[in-house]
Amino acid sequence: MENESPQFELTESAFLTLLVKHEPSFRAYARSLVPDWDLVDEALQEASVTMWQKRGQLESVDGFVPWARVILRFKCLRQVEKLRSRRPLLSDEILATLADRAESRSAETIAARANALNHCLRQFSAEQRELLLAPHSSATSVVDLADRRQKTPNSLYKLLGRLREKLVECIRLKLAAEAP
């Protein structure tokens, strides 16, 4: 009889722990590929279901993140195709380059950036956050916000530019303060 090594099996609890632990980096990775937060959520949800269904393919806990990113990448590309039918998007080659760059970032780096972004967004008023997030949302555009606020789109774009500069500076300072 051959000596067979015992097969690795990921328990439900271990799977959920890994998924929750790496969710911020998965979200950041998905966002680097999909330019719409709602579709990022859809891609993450679909990827999570597929990961659960295919968890038997996983050979070790150490392989979870690369394995999960492959699944998430395909789900993101599916969402991009949906979006592409509605508006022009980046080419497949550029998307592949962005995905490769995102994959090379460590989970800790992505989590630190996400935490800094969340921290800094809280420094802005609700109205300012809405404007900052409008270009990344399918629900609201800057032009719609301008109409609602009885301002010109140009004035809101200028304000958006100033807010983005403040946000980038806040993130830069937050990351620098937390750097070892």
* pLDDT per position as a tens digit, 110-157: 778 888 888 998 999 988 888 888 776 656 677 788 888 888 888 888
CA distance 76 to 80: 6
5 pLDDT higher than 50: no
Six token digits for residue 137:
């949302």
Q: Dihedral, CA atoms, 7, 12, 13, 15, nearest 10 degrees?
A: 70
Q: What stretches of 85-106 show up as alpha helix (H) in DSSP?
A: 92-104
Length of the chain as a residue count? 180
Among the listed ranges 53-67, 98-112, 165-179, which one has the minimum average pLDDT value? 98-112
CA distance 131 to 163: 9
pTM over 0.75: no
Q: Which long-range contacts (CB under 8 A, 24 or more apart) does 173-178 make?
A: 174/116, 174/119, 174/120, 175/112, 175/113, 175/116, 178/112, 178/116
